[in-house]
Structure 1
Amino acid sequence: MRQAVTQEELEEAAGMFAALADPARLKILLRLGPGEMSVSDLTDALGEKLTTVSARLKVLYGARLVGRMRRGKQVFYHLADDHVMALVASAVDHACEDH
């Protein structure tokens, strides 16, 4: 990690952690770990309403944790990069450690 981090970079990192601070959004990221999924596939896999999943994806996209691509009428989401799964995996591993 770099020694000099700007205030803007710290604020962006805090925004990412805020987006990660919801179990339902973490669940979406874990679903996207193996590869991209359409919004309708995520909705089916999670058993939730389209509007609910879309709202959660909007937060994740705004925090640059997921990317999206439109193909025809469907929108497909994927993890933004390998750092995202590393963050999620580290958090889950840390939560599962014996205290």
Structure 2
Amino acid sequence: MEGLSELALSHVAQYFSALSEPTRLKILNHLRDGEQNVGDIAHACDCSQANVSRHLSTLAKHGMVIREGRGTTVFYRIADSSIYALCDLVCGNVARQLESQANLLNALTPKNNPKSKKK
């Protein structure tokens, strides 16, 4: 981030903001398999088509997905697959943190501590 202007930092923050919604992350994950239409994405995400369309609009605004109309159907696909490297990096870090917290909690729980068992 060194050397970025205030305007560039603002755009970066907005980009990350677009990723701050779980449904958008689900949509991006479903698009890993290739382009899909709104109905297919809505079904896969268990959301309404209107809700998915709203999220896809946000993702498109930030350049994460590309919209292509064919006849009466609109298809969406990932604009730049490097989004998955970013998401996988962050998700992997979060998963490690959650696992570490769970391990710590298990270690502190009396049922797992032989000294705390009284008979």
Partner AA of 1:88 in structure 2:
C
Structure 1 residue matching 2:42: 3-state secondary structure: helix
Identity, in percent, stands at: 34
Query: 2:23·2:45 contact (CA, 8 Å) conserved in 1?
Result: no
Structure number with larger C-alpha Rg: 2
1:41 alignment partner in structure 2:
40
2:28 alignment partner in structure 1:
29
Q: Mind listing any 5+ residue stretches in structure 1 that lack a counterpart? A: none
CA distance in 1, matches of 2:63, 2:13: 12
Task: Please list the CA deviations of residues 58-88 of structure 1 after superposition, one character each: whole Å capped at 9, or x if unmatched.
Answer: 1111111111111111111111102211111
CA distance in 2, matches of 1:13, 1:51: 27
CA distance in 2, matches of 1:8, 1:34: 34
TM-score (norm 2): 0.75
Cα RMSD for the two superposed structures:
1.5
Higher relative contact order (CA 8 A, sep 6+): 1
2:52 alignment partner in structure 1:
53
Q: Mind listing any 5+ residue stretches in structure 2 that lack a counterpart? A: 101-119
CA distance in 2, matches of 1:28, 1:13: 20
CA shift at 1:6, angstroms?
Answer: 2.5
CA distance in 1, matches of 2:80, 2:18: 16
User: Aligned residue pairs: how many?
Assistant: 98
